[in-house]
Structure 1
Amino acid sequence: MNGLMMDFPLTITGIMQHANRVHGSKEVVSALREGDGYKVHRCTYGDLFKRAGQLANALQSLGVKQGDVLGTLAWNDYRHMEIYYAVCCSGAVVHTVNPRLFEEQLEYIVNHGEDQWLFIDLDFLPLIEKMQDRFPKIKGYILLCDAGTMPDTSLKNVYAYETLMADQPQSFAWPELDEKTASGICYTSGTTGNPKGVVYSHRSTVLISMTGATAPSIGLTEADVVLPVVPMFHVNAWNLPYTCPMVGAKLVLPGPFMGSGQVLAELMDQEKVTASAGVPTVWLGLLEYLRASDTKLATVNTLMVGGAATPKSLMEAFEKEQGIFMMQGWGMTETSPLGTMNGKSPEMDSLSGDEQYQLRLRVGRPTFGVEVRIVDTEGEELPWDGEAAGALQVRGPWICSEYLGIGKTDAHTADGWFDTGDIATVQPSGNVAITDRVKDVIKSGGEWISSNDLENAAVSHPEVAEAGAIGVYHPKWSERPLLCVVPAPGKSPSKESVLATVAEQVAKWWVPEDVVFVESLPHTATGKISKKDLREQFKDYQFPA
């Protein structure tokens, strides 16, 4: 016997229509570049969706059809939000392109994704002008500006965004889409080989948005004011451009100022932000500004953090100095990205202060809709005992089943799981700890050493701003850890004091063989420490005799 429920498709169009009717008066605030500073643009969800209708009509007049792929190189602002909804709700596909990638990677993903039009923020115009002859499938370009700020450009078949939309009607006959219709494409960062395209569907996007709004996950409500620092060109800004309208949360978008601690702090204060999301390097920069300016954030209660391991020292600093809870989670492009979240829980409340932090350093429990398991090198499932470490595999309705134009790879198991490339342990309660990436584990004398744990221990030193640990050849042990340290501003920590701090927190044989001090560490386009580049930088390094 089947249930007698309506067969109602889960589409992003449904999010838009619900938000327009129920939360249409809620604000969307954007920081836009103006001279050497910034200005604030304000609109409502209702305004934004009307303009999305205008854009959909404009794209139709250009010949854009359902299934066409349209690329964006844009910051987090209201225009990018309009593109999100206009494109995918009309049946086309939004391909958010990370402008921080190398030119070779940009060329590959724009061509591989078969993008037909590109929306371009003016900041990225010189880059695309230089590369336009490398995009043979592109039909034209739309610059995110109005007629008054439209620059002279060598691009062919180019339009100003506002001019293109100006005379278009606000209403659009949004098509009834199958919920499995592709809505967006995001490419992996391509740390090994070419980037791989992950194609999201309307159904997967709606499901992850609904789950993200639940209390065990992000837990957003209509009372929240949310500032996504994570870029909209990276995994849909962790789906916040869909979750916030769905629940009616006010949205504050930082434009090109995602790396400015001052602008982020000012937006948080002026707009009464309650929650924000970003990678650890963003929060390190914000903390430095707050300390230097003696600024207190009065309304922020939660910082969501992912993309890399969060140091205990960073959590302690925000809680003690600002009264802000850092909520760590885990995910990846292939998981849309929500996988696990580690929010406040009764279990946490029952623990002492140090025990709480040990629990919070884990990435949390799987959200409903995500199944996890850990397996050994033979593919046999390992127990959830908090001790056994194995390859983390996941499956669920918003997990990548195959890559665009490539199909299934070695990461897709025969029994339907996706191998994440992470090494993890899982407690009996389901709480996951990522101990390392498979390719970043340091193997010394046949035993594993976690580079994440070494880095977290090092940054607990008061004079260390950032640290990266890599394995370097050793004649006796095959590999030994080398710790690369960026001193805190104005500080000069000694090698001995850094090693002593690490030795207090890890097994004796884990303690790095040496420490080198550097001005900066290489980062990937999404803000993670690039171990690949760090290993290349120190490929000829030899430990002291």
Structure 2
Amino acid sequence: MMLRGQMMEMPLLISDLLVHAETWHADSEIVSRTVEGPIHRYTYRDLGKRSRQLANALKSLEIKMGDCVGTLAWNGYRHLELYYAVSGSGAICHTVNPRLFPEQISYIINHAEDQALFFDLSFLPVVEQIASELTSVRHFVLMTDRANMPKDSSIPNLRCYEDLVNSHSDQLDWPEFDEKTASSLCYTSGTTGHPKGVLYSHRSTVLHAFASSLPDSLDISAQSAVMPVVPMFHVSGWGLPYSCVMNGAKLVLPGPKMDGVNLYELIEEEGVTMAAGVPTIWMMLLQHCQRNHLKIHSLKRVVIGGSAAPESMVDQLAEHGAEVRQLWGMTELSPCGTTSTPKFKHNGCDIATLRHLQGKQGRPIYGVKIRIVDDENQPLPHDGKAFGNLQVKGSWVLSQYFRRELDDNHTADGWFNTGDVVNIDTDGYMKITDRTKDVIKSGGEWISSIDLENILVGHPAVAEAAAIGIIHPKWDERPLMVVVLKEGMSATRDELIGFYEGKIAKWWTPDDVAFVDELPHTATGKLQKMKLREQFSSYKW
């Protein structure tokens, strides 16, 4: 006979994160750079109060359990209030990426059947352009105060966010419901076909917040001052709006100004100890510091995801006293999967060993399982040599895309195919060598486009680089480097190809370099290799 434990059972709900923060971290600060311009400051106590007011406002708009509420907003305190008021009420907080094309934004909002749309002033022109196409949206709310409301707008019955919040009481008992209730919704960037929705639950979100807070993950505590530069409209800001509230960390939200000048100012003035974002962001910050001979003082840790951080960037941040921690994840993983935190055995290791470790995407955090398989779905060894297709399982991993019956991404035994080609070493560190669709196969052997890119951006004249495979009459494919040079800098083809000498196997060395003014990126900042392959489809060696 099975003997059951005799412990209390309480549902894991997003609203409980907020209640905990405003009870035990009431005076911890939330600092936001606003779209209107000024810096806004308040506390977790204020966040709790205004979130309850907003929840009552949503009820007055007849937003019900299970309804989707869309947001088009930067990282700011009003967006944070929506995270908690919407999900805490039992509705679904649907963060929409405003960097997508208007047609994609319309598709996503209509597919989700959003009942209300909240948006920052920055996105008023976009919403005015598509409002008539949004068939399900009953309420349009501009996230500003009365003084900044437009005198006229083509959007009928446009509501003012501050008027809406301030007209409602802060008296509210958050409802209690099943922890598997849907909490939030995020769509993939949709580089091919329509974007696909990933529907998170309260349970998956809270478990993800627990795991991502751990010292070996993002290491968040009440002593932290965290600046999520990764947008809150992209995979819930890597979960930081939840994990920071769970732990009572000071939050510094950069709003729409994510350039080097403004980020440096916020980091220095607010004592930011940890920041998170894609490599492009840190490249801008480092270039600003280099041009102006500035030192970053408070920053201790930089979490980098979206694409691999070049070793040169790791070195430069280390000069400012900041440790780089690689993060690998996906929208389908909520998003955290692995981090590159060293083990005890690595204490005291030399810089070269440490950099090699930091160049990997890292070990899985508790709650996520990973494996690599061959094209026949047979497991491959974790020896640091075998390359295979990465598959994942876990408590915050997608089981099925939103409102899609067919799902070719999952195996018969429940593993999710990520589309990444990786190896895993004997210590459990995973290294992405490519996306399945981007790997370069030359003479039957694989060449890592990511390694080629990371090496070349270490050249002092290179701002950005992409490696693509071009059809070759003898070797099937050979690598071509597509390069953007830094402003005012110059370099030749031979100089850049020579830069690889001694760094990779000779047969990996790219055969040519093409110089361009800019590289195509997705709405989330990732390189669009498919567009580059189209652009260079007629290239001849």
- Secondary structure at 1:502's aligned position in 2? coil
For 1:26 and 1:350, the matched residues in 2 are separated by: 35
Paired AA for residue 262 in structure 1? V
Please identify, of 402-411 and 281-290, the stretch whose mean Cα deviation from structure 2 is larger. 402-411
SS in 1 for 2:313: helix
Query: Residues 20, 323 of structure 1: CA spacing in aligned structure 2 closer, same or farther, 3 A cutoff?
Result: same
Q: How many angstroms does 1:513 deviate by?
A: 1.4
Contact 1:401 1:408 in 2 (8 A): no
Matched with 2:201 is 201
How far off is 1:100 after superposition?
Answer: 0.4
Q: Does 1:377 align with 2:379?
A: no
> CA–CA distance in 2 between the matches of 1:80 and 1:177?
23
| Equivalent residue letter for 1:370 | V
Report the alpha carbon displacement of residue 528 of structure 1 after superposing the two structures with TM. Answer: 1.3
Note if contact 2:449-2:466 (Cα within 8 Å) is conserved in structure 1: yes
* Match for residue 12 of structure 1 among 14, 24, 28: 14
For 1:181, the equivalent position in structure 2 comes to 181
Unaligned 5+ runs, structure 2: none
1:337 to 319, 335, 341: 335
1:464-543 residue pairs with structure 2 within 5 A?
A: 464-543=462-541
Counterpart of 1:514 in structure 2: which amino acid?
A: D
Q: Residue deviations 1:335-377, cap 9 Å, x none?
A: 0001001124323324321121111101110000000000000
1:313 alignment counterpart = 312
Q: Which sections of structure 1, spanning at least 5 residues, go unmatched?
A: none
* Secondary structure in structure 2 of the residue aligned to 1:33: coil
Match of 1:132 in 2: 131
The Cα of 1:132 is off from its aligned counterpart by 1.4
Measure how far apart 1:475 and its partner are.
Answer: 2.1
CA distance in structure 1 between the partners assigned to 2:299 and 2:235 by the alignment: 24
Q: Which structure 2 residues correspond to residues 446-465 of structure 1 after superposition, within 5 A?
A: 446-465=444-463
Q: What is aligned with 2:352? A: 354
Pairs within 5 Å for 1:221-236: 221-236=221-236
Distance 1:59 1:527 in 2: 33
Percent identical pairs in the alignment equals 51
Secondary structure in 1 aligned to 2:518? coil
Give 2:198's aligned amino acid.
V
Matched residues, number: 538
Give distance in 2, aligned partners of 1:218 and 1:475. Answer: 47
1:137 shift after superposition = 1.3
2:149: which partner in 1? 150
Instruction: Tell me, in whole angstroms, the C-alpha distance in 2 between the residues paired with 1:261 and 1:59.
Output: 37
Q: CA deviation at 1:324?
A: 1.1
Q: Does 1:159 align with 2:159?
A: yes
Return the letter of the residue paired with 2:376: E
Shift of 1:445: 2.1
Instruction: Give the CA deviation at 1:199.
Output: 0.4
Partner of 2:172: 172
1:29-40 map, 5 Å: 29-34=31-36, 38-40=37-39
Note if contact 1:348-1:359 (Cα within 8 Å) is conserved in structure 2.
no
Contact 2:35–2:122 at 8 Å: present in 1 too? Answer: no
Alignment of structure 1 residues 274-293 onto 2, 5 Å: 274-293=273-292
Aligned twin of 1:427: 425
Moved more, 290-299 or 180-189: 290-299
Return the alpha-carbon distance in structure 2 between the equivalents of residues 63 and 428 of structure 1.
55
Structure 2: distance between partners of 1:2 and 1:429: 36
Q: Secondary structure at the match of 2:205?
A: helix
- 1:287 deviates by 0.5
Give per-residue Cα distances to partners, 1:128-162, cap 9 Å, x unaligned: 11111221111120000111111121112320101
The aligned residue for residue 84 of structure 1 is 83
Q: 1:33–1:256: 8 Å Cα contact kept in structure 2?
A: yes
Q: Which AA in structure 2 matches 1:5?
A: M
Per-residue CA deviation, residues 429-468 of structure 1 (Å, 9 max, x unaligned), is 1111111100110122222111101101111212111100
Instruction: Give the alignment's TM-score, normalised by structure 1.
Output: 0.97
Shift of residue 298, structure 1, vs aligned partner: 0.9
CA drift at 1:506 = 1.5
C-alpha distance in structure 1 between counterparts of 2:435 and 2:404, whole Å? 23
**Structure 2 counterpart of 1:445:** 443
User: Does 1:249 pair with 2:249?
Assistant: yes
Q: Which TM-score applies when normalising by structure 2? A: 0.98
Question: Match for 1:251: what amino acid?
Answer: L
1:263 corresponding residue in structure 2: 262
Letter in 1 for 2:312: S
Asked if the contact 1:460–1:501 (Cα under 8 Å) also holds between the matched residues in 2, the reply is: no
- CA distance in 2: counterparts of 1:189 and 1:446, whole angstroms: 31
* Equivalence for 1:114: 113
Residues 220-257 of structure 1 deviation map (CA, whole Å, 9 limit, x = unaligned): 11111000000000011011111111111100000001
Partner AA of 1:455 in structure 2: E
Question: Distance between the aligned counterparts of 2:379 and 2:406, measured in 1?
Answer: 21
CA contact (8 A) 2:341 2:363 kept: no
Give the match's secondary structure for 2:71: strand
CA shift for structure 1 position 408: 4.8
Deviations 1:60-116 (A, max 9, x none): 111111110000000000000000000000000000000001122212111111111
Q: Which amino acid aligns with 1:440?
A: D
1:420 is aligned with what amino acid? T
Deviation at 1:33, TM superposition (A): 3.3
- Secondary structure of 1:111's partner? helix
CA distance in 2, matches of 1:192, 1:175: 39
Aligned AA (1:98): N
- 1:299 matched to which residue of 2? 298
1:490 aligned counterpart, secondary structure: coil
Give the whole-Å Cα distance in 1 for the aligned partners of 2:157 and 2:182. Answer: 27
Partner of 1:273: 272
Structure 2 CA distance, aligned partners of 1:134 and 1:489?
A: 41
